[in-house]
Each structure stands twice: as C-alpha cells, then as structure tokens.
Structure 1
Amino acid sequence: MTLNQSSGTSGSRIFSKLSRFMVAILILTLIMVSNSPPRAYAYTGDFSPKNFDFSSLELSESGPIVPTSWQYYNNNPDFEPTTSPLNEAVGNATSILRAAPISRIGSEVDVIEVVDGVWILSGKPYGSVVIKSDNNTLIAVSTGESAEDGQLFREVIRQEISDLPIGAVIYDHAHYPKGTETLLDGDVPTMIIAHPDSNEIVKNSTGFANPNISELGPYLDARAKIQFGANLPEIGRDAMLVPQTFVVGAESAWIPADTEVADGETLTVEGIEMQFFHAITDTEDTLTIWLPNYNGYGIVIDNVVWPQNNLYTLRGDRHRPPQDWIAALKTIRDLQPDIILPVSSGGNPIISKEKCFDAVTSLMDMMRFINDQSLRLTAQGVRPDELTHHMSMPDSLLQSPFVNEFYGQFDTYPAAQPTFNHGWFSGYAEDIHSLPRAVYADYLIQLSGGEENVMAAYTAAMDQSEYLWAKELAVNLYYAVPNNDTYRQALADVFRQLGQMSPGAIVRNFYIGAALNLERKIAISLTDIEPTEWVTENPAEAVDRLRIRIAPELATGVAGVLEFNIDGNRSALHIRNSIAEFIPKPDEYYQAIDASVETLGDNFAAYYRGEIGVDEFLANSSSTTGPAQELLSVFDEFAVIPMYPDNRDL
C-alpha cells in the first residue's frame, strides 16, 4: 500500500513543487554526511510528502542523539552546529533530520491524496483532512488557526481536490478550529462536530493558551510568542532552522460547534459512519475520529500520534498528563487502523497496520518511560530540577523516528510530572527560602573577589566548552550589573551557544530570543496584553482583571468603591487593604459607590492597554464623580517589560 498522488498530478510536478523546507533537509543531510560519519539511526520507511523518496537518507548528526545529560552542554568541545542552506540559521539539525521523513511540514500548502476520496493538506502542520462523502459533499477535519488559514485551505481544496460543497466540519481539538468561516465561504454544513468542552475552551482561550488562571492568559501568550520564534529574524544565524508558521493572536474565523459527540459515540456524517473518542493530549477537548470502513480501509484521524512530541510545553499551559495521552494512544492501537492521519501535528500519513502499530507503540513507550522514571526518582527523593540528570532515553526507543526532539526536548519533561502533583516545593528545607537573585549575585561576586574574577572564570569556562557553568557565572554578572554591556553580551553569547546546541526547536527559540533581548536587538518580553476587541467585548471581565494590577505601595491608606460604566455595562472595584474586590452588580453591593467613571469602550480599552494614562482616560470619559482619580492611581499602568531589563527593579 502506498500514498496516492493527487488527482492529475504528475511525479515531475510533485518534485518541482517540493517545499523549500524539504529541499533544505536534503542539503542539510548532504552537508552533515560529508562532515561526519553516519550514525546508526537512519530511517528507511516510505513516509514522505508528495511521494518523494527518503529511503536513501542516512542521517548524520552534529551532536548526540539525545542530550539527556548536563555533560552534553557542559563538556562537549567537539560539537559543531549546522548552517541551514534555507536561511543561514545555525543550530543542531539532528532531530530535524530524524523527523523529516515522517513530517509534512513545508513552506507551501499542497495536497497528499491518501486513498481515493481522502486527502490531507501538507505544508501547514495543521492542514485539513478532506473526505469525500456519500452525499456528494466534502467533510473537513481541522480548519486552521486563523481566518487566513481557512481562506488558503479553501483555495487549495478548490484547485487541487474538488468543487463540491463542504457538508460537515469536525474539530479535532481547540487549537485549530479558527479558519471555519473562511473555509466554508458560504457553504452551509449540516453539522460542525466537536468534543462537548470544545466551545467553552475555544471561547476562553487567549491567543494560543487555555489558562487555568484566566488573568495569566496574556502572560502565557507572551511565552508562546517566544516559543514559536515570533520575533526572531527570518535570515541569519538566529533565524529558526525550520521557519514557523504560527501567529499568536491572528484574526479568528471560528464558528462554534453545533454537534457534540460523547466518548465512543457513532454518528453517520454525510453518509459516512464515524466513531468519536475523547482524548486529553495538548488540549482537553481532543477527538480521535475513526472511520471503520472507508473504501475498505480503517482510518484514524487524530491529534494523538505526533511526529514531534511535546509532553511539556515551555510556553506554559495546562498539564499534559502522560497517562491520558497514553490512554489515547492505546485507543488507537486497539482499533488496529490501516491508516493514521495526524491532522494537527504535522505528521505524514502512516500507512499499513504494522507501521501504525510501531508508531503508536513507540510514542506510548517513550511517554511511559518519561512518566514512570520521573515518578520513580521523585519517590526516591530526587528534586524536580535534578530528575533529568538521572534519566537517559533507552537506545531501543531511539530506533523509532517518532522518538525525536524536533519540537519538544526530552530533558524539559520530567520536572512537570511531580510538580503537577506537589507544586513548587521540592521537600528539601534549603528550598523554602532564598535570597533575591540580585542579592545572591552580589554575595557570589564578593566571595569570588570581584567582577573581574567572575568574568575571567566565565571566559575560561567558555574556552573549555563548559557552557552551563559559563551560564551560571554570566547570569550572576548580569543580575549584579544589568546595564553593563559586557556582562549582557557574555550572557547572550552563552545563551546563543546553548541554543545552537539544542536539538529542540522550542528550547532553541527561548535561548536565542533571550540572547537577542540581552543584545537589545529584539523586544522579547514575558508581558503581553489582551487586544482592544477583547476589552471592548468583555468590559466587566477587563475591570475584574484590574485587580491584579493593584500596587500595594500606591494603595496604602486608599479605600473606596469605584464604579465603571463602560458602554452601559456597569461593574465596580472595592479598593481596600491594598486589594481590589470585583463587584459585578454594584447596586446589590453592601457598600455605597464612592466614585464612578462613565466612558466608551474604546477609551477604557486604551487605558487598560497602557496606550493612555489615568489623566487622559478620565479627560476622555463622559463623566466622573468622587475621588475616581485617586482610586485609579493605585493600579499599575500596563507597560511592556523586557525579559532582561537594564535595571534591578524586578
């Protein structure tokens, strides 16, 4: 059984349209093979976008397969990074090469015809699965992360697949249902199917996160921008080795689902029998879709079998319990599919029962190893941040191309397991209290005999490839004198080195982003703010979120109830004891209103987003009463704070 070509598409056309990313992968391979002997981890399967044959690839890496040990970063003088022919980015291409044969990520959206009547869009990692129905319509699974995606997917479907109307839409999870309206473009589906929690999760999500604490949504979005390299240059050593397509906060064309499916429920969708299974993976509303007999094939469409795993995400989000992900994989394994279509994770079609079984089992065992070893060591008293020093992925698991670090990195996963259970405290008494970072830096530098001695030790560590030790020294120099350009550059240099050594795209992006911020070349920040549209559409919730901006040093001795009337929506804050209590119904509150502000939504949004100050906000308001200015002055005005500022205020 092999992948079909798209209808009317010749092999020469397929090759001519091969994405720049895949061409770059081939060149990277040739460069790395010529620079070092082949490793024993070549993959010879037939996974490939557009039927290009990767079977002859022998993968040769610029570093070890898995940097599970601190010695990789601190005692690896022979490491030589690879320079991408695509954009001159410098980094570790080990896992990119391992994942390339099972990935459909590329620079252009195109079509893979899997079997007659089933297609999957390549290029975007979340390109739609398209199914021809028995009702002479199309069924689309996943619609993209933005209105722009939906429009692009529709154009490709119309040009390469069919002019049939889209008769049904299925959301496989909450990250990529945001291109629906533009994908439909006037088509009226009989149903939009999703997990019962999907609508609520999408509605409450920020740009990319589904936060447990809604007030921290913008903070998680700021971290997501770093994770996805939103501010990294497109060309040069600091560009991403694989250019990313994600845009945090892009315009959405989401349409709420109108058909909820229970776990295990079977539906006839446009004449096709489908069964739906609930799963928890990177979101809690994941659906696995099972077509038990589509033209003689058992087909799974899923957000479970990832070609690049990420069991914990550095951007921060809800916990991803390995046990739940493993349970979802078991469900797929037990179905014994002929074909797996990893719709939202950038994976190529997996074809044949044997290859489906191998992929699923490899991922299950990798996750089980991470989870069980993390818990085993925790039960022995190992601190969360020390777990990774005692774990190394078994060679037997590394034989599978699905066990790779193209996206997430194994050594970032273990600590997430025990901390989800017991929180931040390790159990060791010395971890209860600590000095402020800057104060610790002052003490360390004093003990070392001054800044010159620490800088000399840093230089020696860099010369000896002891990069983790060099990082510790540079961090303390920065926190002692954060506006010193030499110390900032020292920390930037070691961050860039660590980023270039890291096989995981996420880890690399955080290191490189931090380096560029220290060099004052880009504005990397852990602060972000909701868009104007959100504020004007949710005025009461925005007022409520002002609570977390109250500054105790400004609020000492200040008390009163401040009412906001924003486009006729009334709510209030009771300020007292350096806190602010949100009052959703001021008329029913036990204390009378002391001050009020009546204003338009756009004016309040400008104040909320830090675009204007208190004085201008009040001047632009329709009316104010009482000590409104005094009460408003206890709140921080929003401002973007650099990740590595020039001062010691934070």
Structure 2
Amino acid sequence: MSNALRVLALPLLLGLAACDQSGSSAPVAGGVAGKASEQTRAANADVAARYSLDIEAELKNVRRGLIASPSGQVRDSEGNLVWDFEGFSFLQGQAPDTVNPSLWRQAVLNNQAGLFKVTEGIWQLRGFDLANLTLVQGKSGLIVIDPLTARETAEYAIAFARKHLGNQSVSAVIFTHSHVDHFGGALGVLSAEEARARQVPVIAPSGFMEEATSENLMMGVAMARRATYMYGKLLPRSPEGAVDTGLGKAVGFGHMGVLPPTRLVSQPSEEVEVDGVRFVFHSVPGSEAPAEMTFALPDLKAFGGAELLSQTMHNLYTLRGAKVRDSLKWSDYIEATRAQIGDAEVLFNQHHWPIWGGQSIDEFLVAQRDVYRYMHDQTVRLMNEGYTAPEIAEMLKLPESLERHLHVHGYYGTLKHNVRGIYQFYLGWFDANPANLDPLPPVEAAKGYVALAGGPDKLLSAAREAYARGDYRWSAELSKQLVYADPGNRDAREIQAQAFEQMGYVAESAPWRNFYLTGAQELRQGRPKEGVTPVMMLDLLAHTETELFLDVMATKLRAEDAKDLGLRIALNFSDSGERYLLWLENSVLHHRRLAEGEEVATDAGLTLTKGFFLQMVSGQAGAKDLLTSSEVSLQGSTLDLAKFFGLLGKPDGTFPIVTREF
C-alpha cells in the first residue's frame, strides 16, 4: 500500500489512536523502589503525633448499613482487568513508613467496598469504581444515580445489588454531573435499546451532553497522559506504590458510554417526580463540574450532594489539567445547600461515605464551605499585596479551626496547588516580573545552570548533598536541571527518582504521591509504550458533535508544512446527511457545515458513514478498511486527499514529562 493511501486513516487524522512505538528514553538499570529515609520517617511520625488519626470511630460511619461486600475481579469481554476488589488488601494496621499516616487513614476508609443501606429506600454501592452508584427505591423499580465510569463495573455493581435487593428493573437514571466517572457506565445498568423501548427517564443538568462529550476531547491526549500520573495507573498497588486516589480507590478503566438525557434540569431549583419519588434538584454549575446538580429527597429526609461535597478538600485546579474552578462560587453553593437541606437526617455524596444527623451535617457543610472561601479570600488578599503564586502557596496555611476537620484535608486537592489555581483564575500565568515574560525554554535554561554550577559532576554532588540532608525539593530541582540537560545521565535520573520517592512517601495528597512515584518509575524504567486507546470510549464518542471532532482535527495541523497550501476537501456522512467543507488558509484548517443542496468546488472528497468514522477514530478500522469498505468512497484527487491528511499530526500519548526527550 502506498504512503499516500496510508495517511487517509482517520486515527492518524485525529491523533487519538494508540501507538505501538514508545519513543521513550532508555530505562535506568537497577532502579527499584526505595525505603523511607530517616527524614521521611520523622516527618510521617510528626503527622501521626499532630493529628487525631484514630480510624475506628470513622470506620463505624463508613461501615454503617453494610449489607454485603464483593470479592474477586471484574474483567472486560477481552479478559482485561477492569477492577480488583483485593488489589488494596494490604491496607491494614498502622501506616508503614512509606505512606503519610493521614493518607493511609483515608485509604483504609476508602477501601470499604460493598452495598450499603443509607436510609430507608436509599442504598449505595461503594468501592466498585472511583465514584459511588446510588440507588433509590422507586414505585416500579430502582432509580440509578451516577452509574460509575465503566460499563463493566456498573454491570457488576447493579447485578450485585439485585442479588440483595431483588431483581428489579431500572426505572430511571440520573446523572448528577458531566464527569465520566459519574456516567460512563450507563450502558452497564441499562441498554440504549431498553431505555428507548420502555421510555425510561434519563435526567441530567442543563448542558450535560455538551460538557460530557467535550471536556476531554480537545486536550484528550495530554490529559490522558497526565491522568496516568495523577491516578497512579501504572504503579504497583503496595505500600511503596499506589494506595488510593483520595477520592476513591482507583479508576475503572473499561468501556465508557452514555445515555442521552430525556429531561434536563435548567432551573436553579426544580421539583421533579421520578417513578413516584419526589426529587428537588438544585443547579450548581461551575463548581466541581460545568454541568452539575445536587438534590433533596424531602420525603426520605435525605440530601444528595453530588460532588459539590466530599470527604476531602477538592480540586480547584486538577493536576491532570482542566479549566480552573471558581472557589468563591463553590463556597456560595455550599452555603445555599445549608438552607436547601431542610430537615434531612442524612447527607450522602457521590464519593466517600454519608454523614448522619442534622448537627453533624451542618458542621460538615460549614467546614466545607469555609475551606473554599478561606482559600479564595486569603489568596486574593496576598495577590493584592503583590505576592506570586509560589510565594502564596508556601505562606498560606489553614487555620486550626478548619485543619482539625480531616474531611477538608488535601487528600485529593491540596491547599498549595489550589492556591496556584486561584492565582491562575484571576491573573493567569504571568507574575509581572519582566524576567519571566520571555524565559528560556527548559532545556536551554538547564544547560546554562549546569555550566554555571561548574559542570555535571558538581551539580550532581550538590543534588546528592541536598538529598542526604533531607532537602528533597531542592535535590529534585537540582537534578531536574541535569536530567533536562543530559537525559542519559543515569546518576542524575536516579537521585531525582529517589527525591521523588521520599516526597511521595510524605505526601498527604494521593495525586501528589502518585505523581511523584510515577515520575520516579519513569526515570528508572522509561516511558510507557502505549498511549490513548479511544476504543474504550466508542459508545461515548457516538454522541459527540461532528463539529467538535473537526475542531480537534484542526489542532493536529502541522502549520509549518501547510505554508502556502489552499486545499479544499469535502467530508460527507452518507447516513446522517451531514456535509462539510474543510479548507486550508493561512496555515489554518477551517471547516463549515454545508447547507442542503449547496455545492462547492473541492480538490477531493471522502464519503463515509458516521459509524465507520467512529471506527476509524477509535482505531478499530485502519487504512486497508478505508480502501475496501463498502461504507466509504473517495472523490477527486487521491493524491490531494493524501496530501491533506498527511499534514495532520498523530500524537501517541507517550510524550515526555520528567525529561524533555521528544
């Protein structure tokens, strides 16, 4: 097959398919996970002495209402492991030296998987995925709220529930917000065909579908790569590796889909009867998710806090990368919740465990409200006094009145990186120092620092000395310059890996721990050999607007190769009737939808079904299929078509993070 024909494959066009080659740096021989240093042991002992980390009282709340616990593993149809209920069985007893005792406590609490009765008519399945699946007894069946991340974990969870609650049908589905861990498993609890045939209500906040399908697609490759760090996907589950995510145990990496909503909640507060149960939905957009709602169940004296509320400080800025969230709005929504909650006797959220009793609920809400407002107000105060984000992150501490509440500790978000997020929200990346207006790129700057230090040996010696005295942040900073300047320097990579390890071992935040330990792993073993595999998201991509795919495609254009080109390409979908004109102008790829019957001059064209388009996007069909499929036809100049698609890059999702070796 000619090179001209090979470039027609749409996975390359969109840059979403997995890539076999890694392009990763050579692994560092002999690198293994280390033990906690003397300084790390002392730091963790100080945490244990400073806080009341007794777990037994909270375990009673976590285990309250336990009906049954699951065991074994969940695998997909190809035999791939999606979920392992025994994966964190080592989480017993006192915290080892290699885990912050406060994080260890959170990890143990999050490891209580099972079907729980929250109150009469409400149950939760916890520990079956990152989020909780909530069930409410309806008049004719079970109302499912937030069916997890993956079809496989959701299917297992609903089957487990039916064993203990009776073989009831799903009478309604509710999505509280637009993050995939709360809707991706929808097709595991209810097929699209059954939903249509029985006209099952599917309720979601206004804007849900747009946000659900768009949030990660534009930056999907980069976010997915960073998410492997944040969630410790490639780390061993052990006291020296992944212990938790802070929000739940892990992410169920299976097949993801969605059910299009049949009803959107658009009012600030809206009462809806769902299968005989009275829900009062409250819109909280722009807090934790751009489309989100909480809800009251007045007749059951219960309130569902979605992810506005969690047993942790949440992310204003998430380390995987996303738009910064509004801490002031978040705090205001929680204050409004205090009035909306009424006489509820239980507050349950879509992560972690519930809070029972009116006084306990209000104390929880006040602390949650104030941690977001405190971060906001004090960061803004210090910004207006001229301090920069790194300075404020180092200066700001929670007052003792808040810090004593462990549920606002930084197990997921942290005070330090949230402060930086608030700075970014208001002032952006620039700190106003002219020296930082046009700084040198990392590798060029690193080479200058190495030379200034007197060469690699002296810089490495300084990094080792910093490590020996327990100054791991400085050791990592020094060795970073040497790794950037000379990525093949194994001694520099190893000392940085060791510094990362010790910082991971003392981190109270699970994402920080996972970032540090994954960085150490890659310094020693090299980068992963596989990137994004969108085949798992095929059911979700089917609901994505074509225009969004084309916007993403435009970001793959190698502008330097498109200079002076003015190609015009027709893209036609034979089943949906959608027709698009794609054209190059000023090294920019434009697109517009053609009106019915509109004819335009083009150099070449591609006609295919939307279904085949998705197969190409997900990597299920390749260039050979494109040429032989009855669902595809080519028009005009094949060479121009090949030239056009050949201009589009193909990021494989394995780009460097701890080195700059591209």
Shorter-normalised TM range: 0.7 to 0.9
Aligned to 1:199: 209
Residues 215-364 of structure 1 aligned to structure 2 (within 5 Å): 215-235=218-238, 237-241=240-244, 244-248=249-253, 250-258=255-263, 260=265, 262-280=267-285, 281-294=287-300, 297-312=301-316, 313-334=318-339, 335-346=341-352, 348-364=353-369
- Counterpart CA distance in 2 for 1:42 and 1:563 is 63
- Counterpart CA distance in 2 for 1:49 and 1:345 is 12
TM-score (norm 1): 0.78
Q: Say yes or no: does 1:551 pair with 2:558.
A: yes
Q: Label 1:386 to 1:617 Cα distance change in 2 as closer, same or farther (>3 A).
A: farther
Amino acid at match of 2:562: A
TM-score (norm 2): 0.76
Question: 1:253-281 deviations in whole A, cap 9, x for unaligned?
Answer: 53524353622222333333332211133
Following TM superposition, by how much is the alpha carbon of 1:39 offset from its aligned partner in structure 2, in angstroms? Answer: 3.5
Following TM superposition, by how much is the alpha carbon of 1:107 offset from its aligned partner in structure 2, in angstroms? Answer: 6.1
Of the three residues 560, 563, 567, the one matched with 2:570 is 563
Aligned to 2:126: 122
Amino acid at match of 1:495: F
* Range that drifts further, 438-447 or 583-592: 583-592
Q: Label 1:160 to 1:261 Cα distance change in 2 as closer, same or farther (>3 A).
A: farther
Question: 1:232-270 deviations in whole A, cap 9, x for unaligned?
Answer: 223462233568331356332535243536222223333
- Counterpart CA distance in 1 for 2:396 and 2:497 is 29
Following TM superposition, by how much is the alpha carbon of 1:217 offset from its aligned partner in structure 2, in angstroms? Answer: 3.1
CA contact (8 A) 1:154 1:184 kept: no
- Counterpart CA distance in 2 for 1:586 and 1:169 is 36
Percent identity, aligned pairs only, is: 20
CA contact (8 A) 2:443 2:484 kept: yes
Question: Over aligned residue pairs, what C-alpha RMSD do you find?
Answer: 3.8
* Range that drifts further, 331-340 or 411-420: 331-340
Aligned residues: 574
Question: 1:142-173 deviations in whole A, cap 9, x for unaligned?
Answer: 22222223322222221222344433332222
Q: Label 1:274 to 1:196 Cα distance change in 2 as closer, same or farther (>3 A).
A: same
Q: Label 1:114 to 1:241 Cα distance change in 2 as closer, same or farther (>3 A).
A: closer
Secondary structure at the aligned position of 2:652 is classed as: coil
Aligned to 2:406: 401
Question: 1:419-476 deviations in whole A, cap 9, x for unaligned?
Answer: 1123222222222111111111111111111111111111111111111111111111
- Counterpart CA distance in 2 for 1:198 and 1:601 is 22
CA contact (8 A) 1:461 1:467 kept: yes
Following TM superposition, by how much is the alpha carbon of 1:100 offset from its aligned partner in structure 2, in angstroms? Answer: 6.3
CA contact (8 A) 2:203 2:261 kept: no
Aligned to 1:376: 381
Secondary structure at the aligned position of 1:310 is classed as: coil
Aligned to 2:513: 508
Secondary structure at the aligned position of 1:593 is classed as: coil
Q: Label 1:320 to 1:528 Cα distance change in 2 as closer, same or farther (>3 A).
A: same
Amino acid at match of 1:199: M
Q: Label 1:112 to 1:606 Cα distance change in 2 as closer, same or farther (>3 A).
A: closer
Structure 2: gaps spanning 5 or more residues: 1-42, 67-89
* Range that drifts further, 461-470 or 138-147: 138-147
Aligned to 2:12: none
Q: Label 1:114 to 1:637 Cα distance change in 2 as closer, same or farther (>3 A).
A: closer
Q: Say yes or no: does 1:631 pair with 2:644.
A: yes
Q: Label 1:611 to 1:641 Cα distance change in 2 as closer, same or farther (>3 A).
A: farther
Q: Say yes or no: does 1:573 pair with 2:586.
A: no
- Counterpart CA distance in 1 for 2:260 and 2:600 is 42
Following TM superposition, by how much is the alpha carbon of 1:354 offset from its aligned partner in structure 2, in angstroms? Answer: 1.0
Following TM superposition, by how much is the alpha carbon of 1:98 offset from its aligned partner in structure 2, in angstroms? Answer: 5.0
CA contact (8 A) 1:492 1:515 kept: yes
CA contact (8 A) 1:562 1:594 kept: yes
Aligned to 1:593: 602
Q: Label 1:158 to 1:634 Cα distance change in 2 as closer, same or farther (>3 A).
A: closer
Secondary structure at the aligned position of 2:407 is classed as: coil
Amino acid at match of 2:496: L
Amino acid at match of 2:654: I
Question: 1:113-156 deviations in whole A, cap 9, x for unaligned?
Answer: 233333222324532332334x3543332222222233222222
Question: 1:192-235 deviations in whole A, cap 9, x for unaligned?
Answer: 32222223322x24xxxx25xx5223322332232222222234
Amino acid at match of 1:263: P
Of the three residues 407, 422, 426, the one matched with 1:421 is 426
**Greater RCO, 1 or 2 (C-alpha within 8 Å, sep 6+):** 2
CA contact (8 A) 1:614 1:629 kept: no
